[in-house]
Structures are given as C-alpha cells and as structure tokens.
Amino acid sequence: MMGMHARRLFWPLLFVLSLAASAAMAEDAVATTSLNVRSGPGSGFSVVDVLAANERVTMSECQTNGWCYITHDGPDGWVSASYLAPVPGSVGGGGADCRLVIEVGSGGPTFRFECGGVSIGGGEPAPEIEPEPDDEDVGACFWRNTNYTGSSFCGGPGTVTELEAPFNDSLSSLRLYGGAKVRLCEDTSLDGYCRTFTSDTASLGPLINNRASSLVVFTGPIPPVELVPLIPLEILPGLIYEPPVTLSSGLIDLQIGRRVNLDNGVIGSAGADLRLYRAGDFLFSPVYLEPVGGAELALGDGSNRGRDGCRSAAFSGTRIRAQASLVGSYVCARTGAGRISQFRVNAVEISSVKLGYTTWSN
C-alpha cells in the first residue's frame, strides 16, 4: 500500500512489492489466455490490441498495481501481469507455482519470475509473501469495486495520509479482520468528510464511495468524528462529484515535425494541441514537445495525476524536452478546446516519441 505506515503490509496473489516503483529491465513472458493490451496501466484505458493465448511478449516495465508494459509483434501497451507466465522451457518455466517478484535494491528496481523457488532473470531470493489477514490478524483489505472485486490491497493498523494512484478516489468496498476498524476520509490527512466502518462493507455508500483520499486502520475506541449537518444535494449541486468520463484514449506514435490533436488522437494540423520538433539541423539536436493551438502543458513531478489532479495543475505554454529521462513520466495538458488531458511518455526514439494518452469530456 503506497505511503502506508503500518505494522504489516499485505499484497494479494502473486505480487511482492518492496517499494512503490517501476522496473527498468526486460523479461520474456507468454500470455496465459486471450489478453487485452491497453494504452495505459489499468482497465480504464482503451484497448489497442489483443494477445492470443501463449503469445510471447517482452516486459520492459511493471507498476505497483500489477500492470506491465509489453512489446510484441503488434501495438505495444499495458497488460495485467496476472495473465503472464514464464516462457515454457525456461528455468522453472511452465510450473503452476510461478509468481512475478518486484524488488528495489541498491542498483534500482528489478522484476523477475520465480517458479518453485528458482529465480528466472537473476536477483536476490524473493521475500516470502505474507498471507492475507485471517481471523488472528488485525487489518483491513480494500477493493476498487463494490462486492470485493477489482484491484485490492491489505494492511495492518496504521495511517495513510494520502492514498496514491490507482486507489486515490477509487475505493468501493472493504473487509475487516481481527477486530480492526477503518476510518475513510475524502481529503488527505484525515480531513474533510469522514466515515468509520466496523464491519465488512460491500458498498461504501454515496458519500465516500470513490472519494476517499486518506484512511486509518485501528482498534479500540472509535476516534471522535465531527458531526457535519447534511446539505440536500439539490441546494448545492456544485458539490456533487462528477466521476471522470473519457472522451478519447489510445496510443500515439508522434514523428518529428508532426502534430497531434489530443481531443481525438488524430495526427495532423487540424485542431492540433502538441507538436514534436527538432531544434537544430543535426540528428542529435534537442527534440521538444511543444503545446500549440492554445493548448498548455504541466509536467510537475511526472506522476499519474488523473483528471482531478490535472485540473489543478499549473499549466503553461512552455515546451518540454523529449529525452530519455522523460520516459515513464506523465504530462498534464489542457487542449485548445479547453479539455483536460494527460499523456504518458512510453518511449523516446531518434525520430519519434511514443505516447499513451487519455482526454476527458468533463
């Protein structure tokens, strides 16, 4: 659980995440079933291709939510690593007890498959996976969807002052273990509207569902909660949260000298918001991504801020240099039509930049 200071930290299924980080290496794998390839690391991104069962791919990056960036004979993109397995015939490959291990050591982040205690791809032995809480453990598990479905994480007593992607504003159900209680708050640092839960809850309810940004898992007396009178929604309609609605999403292969419209992903001059150009006549002259047509950009810390985070970003017409260090970074954009957009730099090549983008209609 990213940012969680707690006694214990549990992660479900096959993933061991020592730190929240992406891996910068490569590992061959095969799809265990027909598998969607998406433009970004999550099921909310558009499908750009479909892997066939047993199709071979190369993983070059993995994120803490269990999604990995793959390259193959077709459009590259993101897949759920739950449906990837070692290549048959590799060391330990083909077994039913394989897991993907992600670790961060002195040399930086690494990932590898481990089957029956045998590592594929090198690295130190993986730490033992802690089980999900049982009746003797004290903790809580959280899901992004109602009825305990979708991506999830578990943790023991402790406080998360700020939930990070993909769980910020995305919790919908929870289960409690060993007498634990949970307090969810809509703002960071346990501020704003809060609700305390003392039992398993399949649906968090309209006031906190998909709105929690901080939480505390605790035992004993319930912390005092300030009572706030309910305001009828029809009186202040501006307070009603509007979930993001995607207008357009996909992959963009932007060549030097070309422009793209982020409202629809179409490359060309009509309604263009972003252009890629080389500032010089030499092959290795600096290359820049520049907003055009009234669009603006906001790089910030390069994190995945989503629609709500990009809404409050500090936009400007300043260009951004396209270089190797930008790979993996997310850039917020305000299109010339005034819409909020975000793109991720997937690759920087000599004559092009590969992006995965999403633009919202609200």
Q: What is the pLDDT of residues 59-109, one digit of tens each?
A: 888 776 778 889 988 788 988 887 888 887 664 455 556 666 655 454 444
Tokens, residue 235:
């009186």
Residue 101: predicted pLDDT: 67
**C-alpha 216: how far from chain center:** 22
Residue 308: predicted pLDDT: 85
Which residue stretches of the chain have pLDDT < 70? 1-25, 64, 89-113, 115-137, 221-241
Query: 3-state DSSP call for residue 200?
Result: coil
Q: What is the pTM of this model?
A: 0.48
Contacts (Cβ under 8 Å, ≥6 apart) of 207: 193, 195
First to last CA, the chain: 29
Residue 20: predicted pLDDT: 33
Residue 235: predicted pLDDT: 41
Residue 59: predicted pLDDT: 87
